[in-house]
């Protein structure tokens, strides 16, 4: 069920001008029942002027009367033919004036970190025009030297789910078209099965010709003989001494 415009102001009017229950008002306006009770107590929506749903084609007097007579009756939003299709309107999203100065930074971020996105996708995400996107891609924007890339999600220009969906669609499109990698990059790719099935391990050219040495845990006696220090002092008698 659709919700009325200016829901909180509509709830204020219904609380002040009808005997509808808090639950009925809450369900119709998309609010919590305790929030509607806070409006009645004056703790919530202080200073908010009531918005008449009857004069603004959101409710009829008969619908309000039916709700007052039956506490279980759920109010139904009046059908407004002129508003049909408003939610499906296509084109760039509306960006508040306070955030329009942040659009170049967000476009530069998208161009830098998500080059797979098409200009139409970027335009839909942040509400900009294709000439502006092209100028930032080619770095011919008049203020390019002062623009720093900033995540549009952090700036509040789009939602993370919207960005993820756009990136997934762009990747799917590139995969279908076979883009994303050059022919040389594809030839260099080796599957895991091919890598594991290789019979020989290639040795780098800089290590060819080097011998392989095996280090033992303990040196052998032949390689490092033990020398007794006493043998230097107990020298054998020479034959010259015997002749004397």
**pLDDT tens digits, one per residue of 94-119:** 655 656 788 899 999 999 999 999 99
Whether the predicted pLDDT of 204 surpasses 70: no
Residue 136 near residue 107 (C-beta atoms within 8 A)? yes
Could you tell me which residue, 6 or 230, shows the higher pLDDT? 6
Geometric angle at alpha carbon 106, from 105 and 108, rounded to 5°: 65
Q: How far apart are CA 163 and CA 156, in angstroms?
A: 12
Give the per-residue pLDDT at 95.
57
Tell me: the pLDDT tens digits for 19-67? 999 999 999 988 898 988 888 888 887 778 888 888 888 888 999 999 8
Confidence of residue 203 (pLDDT cuts 50, 70, 90): very low
Which of 17, 3, 1, 2 lies closest to 52, judged by CA? 17
Chain-centroid distance, C-alpha 19 = 46
Tell me: the pLDDT tens digits for 73-99? 988 888 655 444 444 445 555 655 656
Could you tell me which residue, 146 or 243, shows the higher pLDDT? 146
Give the per-residue pLDDT at 153.
87
Q: How far apart are CA 73 and CA 163, in angstroms?
A: 41
Give the per-residue pLDDT at 58.
86
């Amino acid at each position: 069920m659709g919700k009325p415009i200016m829901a909180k102001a509509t709830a204020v009017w219904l609380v002040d001008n009808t005997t509808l229950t808090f639950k009925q008002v809450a369900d119709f306006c998309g609010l919590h029942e305790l929030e509607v009770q806070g409006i009645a107590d004056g703790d919530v929506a202080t200073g908010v002027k009531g918005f008449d749903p009857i004069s603004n084609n959101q409710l009829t007097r008969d619908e309000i009367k039916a709700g007052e007579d039956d506490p279980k009756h759920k109010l139904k939003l009046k059908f407004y033919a002129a508003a049909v299709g408003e939610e499906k309107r296509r084109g760039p999203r509306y960006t508040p004036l306070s955030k329009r100065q942040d659009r170049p930074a967000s476009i530069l971020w998208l161009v830098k970190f998500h080059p797979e996105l098409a200009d139409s996708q970027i335009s839909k995400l942040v509400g900009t025009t294709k000439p502006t996107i092209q100028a930032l891609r080619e770095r011919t924007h008049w203020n390019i030297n002062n623009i720093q890339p900033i995540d549009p999600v952090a700036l509040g220009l789009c939602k993370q789910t919207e960005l993820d969906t756009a990136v997934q669609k762009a990747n799917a499109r590139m995969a279908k078209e076979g883009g994303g990698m050059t022919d040389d990059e594809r030839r260099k790719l080796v599957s895991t099965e091919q890598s594991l099935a290789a019979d020989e391990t290639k040795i780098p050219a800089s290590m060819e010709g080097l011998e392989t040495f095996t280090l033992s845990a303990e040196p052998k006696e032949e390689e490092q003989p033990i020398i007794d220090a006493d043998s230097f002092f107990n020298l054998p008698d020479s034959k010259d001494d015997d002749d004397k």
